[in-house]
């Protein structure tokens, strides 16, 4: 039984680092300002599980101009409340 828990621990660590690597690649390939990317990478690496969760929760928040302009006819207050970056 001890061997099972050891294998389970190694598999958990492997999947954790796989998730960290995936989110890191996402942050780097997103091509944001260097300071913003470094800040997200620090959060991801310093806060183990919470950093990944925080990035997935608020790091990808971007409606864009197309979504904003498409929603103008339906909900005109969205464009006033959310400033879409270029």
Digit-coded pLDDT (tens) for 40-64: 999 999 998 899 999 988 887 666 6
For residue 73, give the 3-state DSSP assignment.
Answer: coil
Q: With pLDDT > 90 as the criterion, what percentage of the chain qualifies?
A: 43
User: Across all residues in the chain, what is the average pLDDT?
Assistant: 81
Spell out, as residue ranges, where the chain has pLDDT lower than 50. Answer: 86
Distance of CA 57 to the CA centre of its chain: 6
Q: Phi first, then psi: give them for residue 20, nearest 5 degrees.
A: -60, -45
The alpha carbon torsion through 22, 48, 52, 44 (nearest 10 deg) reads -80
Which of 31, 51, 25, 53 minimizes the C-alpha distance to 40? 51
Give the pLDDT score at 64: 64
């Amino acid at each position: 039984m001890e061997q099972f828990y050891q294998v389970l621990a190694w598999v958990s660590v492997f999947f954790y680092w796989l998730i960290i690597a995936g989110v890191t690649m996402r942050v780097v390939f997103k091509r944001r300002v260097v300071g913003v990317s470094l800040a997200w990478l620090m959060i991801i690496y310093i806060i183990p599980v919470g950093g990944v969760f925080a990035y997935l929760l608020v790091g990808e928040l971007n409606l864009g101009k197309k979504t904003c302009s498409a929603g103008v006819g339906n909900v005109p207050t969205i464009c006033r409340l959310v400033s879409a970056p270029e």
